[in-house]
Chains A and B, each alone.
Chain A
C-alpha cells in the first residue's frame, strides 16, 4: 500500500456559512444560459485559483475535482 503523504489542500469543513454560500452560488447563476453559466464558472475558478496560488494545492484540487473523490484522486496520483 502506498504511503500517504500529507496533503496541503484543506478538505475539512472550512466554510463560515455553508448555506449562505450555496445560496449565493446558485443566485450568481440565476437567469444565465448554460453557456453563460459555464463561462461564469470558468471565471470563478480562475479568480479562486489566484487566491489559492500554491500549485501543489491546486493540483490536488484538480485531481479531486476530476474524480469526484479524494480517495480516487489519491489512487490516481
Chain B
C-alpha cells in the first residue's frame, strides 16, 4: 500500500487506523560517519511524540525513530487526564484533543445490582479542562503526529528500529551511538541524548541490559470496544461483583464515535484466545446492557484484547545520556489511568530540562533531577495502582470480607466511600522533595495546595484586552512569575527586567485584583514592551508559522523559548476577575509565585525581592 495523504486533525478513526506513514531513505544512511543529532527519541507513541514536540517548540532539533509505520492498534489508553490536556495545550494540540474527546468528571460505583454512590472528580469551578477526556489512543497519537509534522526541526523516521545502543563516554566525543535497522539495511547515528519512550517491553531497555522490577498480578482482563447507540451518560461506571459477571469487576467508559469501552475482569484461569472470540464477548455485553439499560442493544464489536499487567519500574530512569520515560520506565495497572498520563508527565519533566542544558543555561546536574523527580512520582503511581488492584481483586478470604464490608457500608455511610478503591484516578505528582524547590521563607505561611513542587492549578482570568483566558494558557514556555499587583510589584518587575537580568528566561504575569477601577489598575501600554520577544521569527529549526497551524487559540509564549532567549523578561498584565488566582495560590498584594516551564510551582513569597527570585530560578535550574 502506498502512503496516503498526510493526516489532518479532521481524520476519522478508520482513516487513522489504516494510515501508514511512509519510510524514506535518510541521507544519514549514506553518510561516511554516523550523523550527529541533538536528541533522539525512540518511539512515536503518546510519550515520545509529546517529548519530541516539546523539545522542538523549545528550539531543540529532535529525531524520532519508530520501529513501525502505524499508530496505535485499537483504542488502548483512553482516559487522558486534565494535566495531560494542560500539557498538550502548551504543545498546541489540547484543543484538537478536547474537541474530539468525551469530557467526563463523574463516576458511579455499583456493588451487586445496586448503585452505591456517585462521585465528581472535579467538584469545583474555575478550570478550563475537565478531570478527564476519553479518547482512543490512536486519535491522541494522530493529533500529536499532525502537530509534529508542522515543526521543521522535528523529524520522524518510521520503520526505523533501533537495534544497538552504545554509550560513548570518552572526552569530547561523549554521546550515544545508535544502530538503526530499516527496510533498506542498517546505519548508525550519534545522539547527544536519547529518550527511550518505546513502551512496556522497551527494546532499548533490553539493549542496555537493564531490568524492571515489581509485582506481576495473576489476573486477566478483557477489553471490548463496542459501537452502539446507548442512552447512557458520559461517566465512569464501575461494578464490583455484578449479577451479570459474578465475583469479578466490570468497568464501562464512553469513547468518541459512539464507541463504549467495557473492561471485564476474567481471572487468571481464563483462556485469552477463547475470550477474544466474538461469540464469547457478545453474551457478556448483552448481559451488561440488560443490567445497565434494562434491555439489550444492537452493537458492533470494534476491538477486543485480553491483557494482564504488572506494577513495576526501573530502578533508575536515567542511564548516562539515555533517559527512560513512560511505560518503558514504569508499568502500572490500568485502574486509575496512570499509565499514559504519567508518561506524558515524564516527557513534560524531561523536555525543558534537556532544552535548558542543550542551550547552556543549566549544567548536567539539572538532568539528574529528572530521575530524582520522576522516580518518586512513579512510586506514587505504583502505590496507588497496587492498592487499587488489591481492593478490586482481594488476594485472601479476609481481604475480600473487608472489601465487601466497605462496599456494603458505603451505600449509606460516606466515610466508607473514602475506602472504596476502584482506581485512584490520575492526578499529577506533587514534587514535594525536589531539590529544585525553594522552601518557603521561615515564618511565612500559606493557604491552599500551591506549595513548592505542586502542579500549577488553572484559574480563569481576564487579559488586558478584555478577553477571558485561563492562567495555564497565560504561562509561558519559560519560567513564569505570578506577581500580585500592589506593594513593591512595579519596582520588582522593573528590577527583574533590569541590566542584571542577563540570564533570566522569565515571564512576569502581573495579577491585578478584581476591581477594574481600583488601585490595582493595570498600566496601559507597558505590557507590550517585551511581549512577543520570544516569538521573533528566525532561529535555527524554528517552526514555520501560519501554514498548517493547529486549531488552537493564540497562546503567548508557545513558541517562546526561555532557554534560547536569555535575558528576555516579558511582563504581561492580567486581571483576576473572579478571584480564583488569589485564592488558589494564596497570592496577596505584593506576593509572588514562581512557576517552572513544566507548570510546577517551585517557590513563593509574601514579600519577594529580585535576589530571592533570581536565586530560586538558579536553584530550579540546578545551577546554584
> A interface vs B, CB < 8 Å?
38-39, 42-43, 45-47, 50
Contacts and interface: CB of A to CB of B under 8 A. Distances in A.
Please classify the interface of chain A as helix (H, G, I), strand (E, B), loop, or mixed, using the class held by over half of its residues: helix
A43 B405 contact: yes
Contacts of B398: 38, 42
Interface stretch (B322-330, B408-416, B435-443, B529-537): B408-416
Given A43-B405, A45-B402, A47-B409, 16 more contacts: A38-B401, A39-B404, A39-B405, A42-B398, A42-B401, A42-B402, A42-B405, A43-B409, A45-B405, A46-B402, A46-B405, A46-B409, A46-B419, A47-B413, A50-B415, A50-B416
Interface of B: 398, 401-402, 404-406, 408-409, 413, 415-416, 419
Which of A45, A46, A50 counts the most B-chain CB atoms under 10 A from its CB? Answer: A46
Which of B401, B405, B408, B413 counts the most A-chain CB atoms under 10 A from its CB? Answer: B405
Nearest to A50: B415
A46 to B, nearest CB: 6
Contacts of A46: 402, 405-406, 409, 416, 419
Contacts of A43: 405, 408-409
Contacts, number: 25
A31 to B, nearest CB: 19
Please classify the interface of chain B as helix (H, G, I), strand (E, B), loop, or mixed, using the class held by over half of its residues: helix
A50 B405 CA distance: 13
A42 B396 CA distance: 14
A46 B406 CA distance: 7
A42 B400 CA distance: 10
B409 to A, nearest CB: 6
Contacts of A42: 398, 401-402, 404-405
Contacts of B419: 46
Contacts of B406: 46
A47 B410 CA distance: 11
A29 B406 CA distance: 19
Nearest to A51: B415
21 contacts: A38-B398, A38-B401, A39-B401, A39-B405, A42-B398, A42-B402, A42-B404, A42-B405, A43-B405, A43-B408, A43-B409, A45-B402, A45-B405, A46-B402, A46-B406, A46-B416, A46-B419, A47-B409, A47-B413, A50-B415, A50-B416
Contacts of B404: 39, 42
Contacts of B415: 50
Contacts of A39: 401, 404-405
A12 to B, nearest CB: 27
Contacts of A50: 415-416
B112 to A, nearest CB: 14
A38 B402 CA distance: 9
B304 to A, nearest CB: 36
B111 to A, nearest CB: 14
A42 B419 CA distance: 13
The 4 tightest CB contacts between A and B, nearest first, are A42-B405, A50-B415, A43-B405, A42-B401
A43 B402 CA distance: 7
A56 to B, nearest CB: 18
